Structure 1
Amino acid sequence: MIDFWLAAGLLLLVALSFLLIPVLRGRRAQLEEDRTALNVALYQERVAELQTQQQEGVLDAVQMDAGRAEAARELLADTEGVAAPRVSRLGKPLPLLAAILVPVLGLGLYLHFGASDKVELTREFAQAPQSMEEMTRRLERAVAAQPDSAEGLYFLGRTYMAQDRPADAAKIFERTVNLAGRQPELLGQWAQAQYFADGKKWSDKIQSLTDEALKADPKEVTSLGLLGIAAFEAERYQDAIDYWNRLLVQLPPDDNSRSALQGGITRATEKLQASGGKVAQAPAAKVAALLKVHVDLAAELKDKVKPGDSVFIFARATSGPPAPLAAKRLTVADLPVTVELGDADAMMPQLKLSNFPEVQLVARISRAGQPTAGEWVGRSQPLASSTTVPQRLIIDSPDK
């Protein structure tokens, strides 16, 4: 903070100079006025001396007039170039008082409205924390300084969970959802924190949160893991196995949590068999979705586009994340064209066509090469992701 205050002090000196320079100029003008008064007094003394000599008969009238004229010329020469005195209505005390009040008032306003705490936080976050407690304090201060930052709230909630403070985490995740929207991942984190805050007691609120999260994203990992834990604690071992198997297929092969998850599935299997139950066979894997779509450009737009303009063809879930589930990039020169969109074209491994029952097809022309915004677009009606009937898509509308 030293460099910040040095810069602030320099700016303050510049501001004070505008107040003090007129005062210093006033002192210089006062000196000039005093010198002029002295010259006038000397002139008057010289004229009195000449009058005395005339009365004594030393000087005649002609000599008297010549002496008076010489004294006047000397006075004029001494006062030449001196500006007329300026009368100040404010006087000198007011600028001096302002010079004192400006820094005091400026400091007070900065402490009230300024962002010194954010400046200090930025400097702190530039250095790695030495402990989890220090990281928590930093995040708490960041949230206090920026209460509308959903990202800061999210990381604080995760930190509280790592410190076994689920009640605090649940409150933070609720605030995050209110700010960032009801995103599946946030709902899953909120439900998990609430579950542990309630002493591992399932409730309608937690059920509602997990249901909403999985409806928007059937592969939301936190909700799947939480439902498996709750089912295991309630001795519903088959449900626990099913939830954890669904979660297991989402994890990368090198994920460290796979072994712990597999261990939980093994324990649930053993307990189910020990109680006389039998593990149900896992449902057959879903057939990979594959959509075939023919894309063409409306006749009235053919002279309004260029051959090199980008064309983005993608499918997105009608109810779920806005990110494309499958996408391909071509150019206007390729139109008309027939393409296939399937799980192999997924933008992210966890977002595949086969995971969402209903999708919408979109074709967009973008001169800037941006898939999210362009000049012209064509959209289909919602359709099942499992459909095998070839679709036709015409780019014919302004992209709004």
Structure 2
Amino acid sequence: MIVFWILVAGLAGLALLFALAPLLGTSAAAEDQNEINLDEINLQLFKQKVAELDADLTTGKLDQSQYDAARQDLEREALNNIRGDQPKPAQATATAAESNAKLTARLLLVILPLLTVGLYLLLGNRDIIPMLATSAADQSLAARGHSGTAEGMPALDVLVKRLEERMQQTPNDVEGWVMLGRTYFTMRDTTKAEAALAKAHELMPTDSQVLLTYAEAIAANQDNNLQGRPSELIAQALKLNPEDVTARWLSGMSAFQRGQYNAAVVTWKNVLAELDPNSEDANQLRSSIANAEQRAGVPPEARQAAPRAAQTQNDNARNPADPRPNSQQTAELISDQPTEVATDTPTAEPNTTDQAAAGIQVTVSLSPSIADNAAPESTVFIYAKAAEGPPMPLAVQRIGVAALPATVRLDDSMAMMPTLKLSSFPQVIVGARVSSSGQALPQSGDLQGETGPIPSNSAEPVSISIDQVLP
């Protein structure tokens, strides 16, 4: 009989184990299986970007110094994005739930053994005990086998799906919407990226990083055109954080797109003074400055001296006596300027400065068959876009119809976004479009000509005839 009661006590303990384990377990174990740790996505994105860098290094698109700089930037970004031990929004609720669970566990600890013994004395059968013990052991083994040791990380699309489900359950999680938007960007789904970041902006309209990310998403869906709503968001971000490098970089690009090249040069030189002069970002910015100065009519000798002078200003970047306008004044200067394209913009020429990135030389002409449809004052956008990838241009030059035929150069210095460059894609499509409205977005009645896919590092000049009318 003693053995019998030992078995009874063992089974009661086993029953308590199954009943109390979910109640006394950690809040992390009690979370829904659809709950996703945002660190997983950050790590997955980091691995994907590193793989792309490795491929570019192998194919020769990047040299070792460029690779090392880009890898360091990725590592810094990954460290900044890792949430680690940050508390979750539902932490307070989880704490209260744990307290209630522990109270319930104490009650069960007393009630369940008494109830078990009482029911057995009333209805019990000693022969059933071995069968129950065997069944309980089988269930325990099955539970351990089902849990597995899933050491691998889910695929990115699986993580995105789970994050989408999570955001349906926690629609007020700003960080979640931002992460979802950035992930869509990586997957090159700019439409969904804009929608997700619009949610984040709605929840936190005064966060400068949310404003800038949202501005880039809107621009990505309008051929990387920063005019209109994106420029408004960038200006708001600058008012909140006048020293933000990304905001100032984008404000310079916005001025450049409006044909306000001097304003772009002022903004970018202020940014350049705060960058590591040997970094890839600094090299790209010098090329952009030289391009803007060329368009503004700055003499070549001044263009060559300006980048070197900017490098010596690091120690004076925040000197109150510095005569250069600060970023806040620059933002006001840009926002107060008209949005029309300057009519006295010099004809674009190939960028021949030492800092110019490798690119494509393009000769554009207007077909005589449709020449009468193009007004001399209309704008011509000459662009390169990925043959397979995002639809937004990777590099753009803008001239007037009166300048045709013309030869221009497209290279990485004209990238609308630092992450989307001509050299990032193996094949591109080069085109030219006459816009009577002056807008970057194609419209019915615009005149256009495009090439087929060509290598992005092609040394052969490309010829384009504008001979089509957009329906």
Q: TM-score range by the shorter chain?
A: 0.3 to 0.5
Q: TM-score, normalised by structure 1?
A: 0.38
Query: Larger relative CO (CA 8 A, sep 6+): 1 or 2?
Result: 2
From the CA coordinates, give the structure whose radius of gyration is larger: 1
Q: TM-score, normalised by structure 2?
A: 0.33
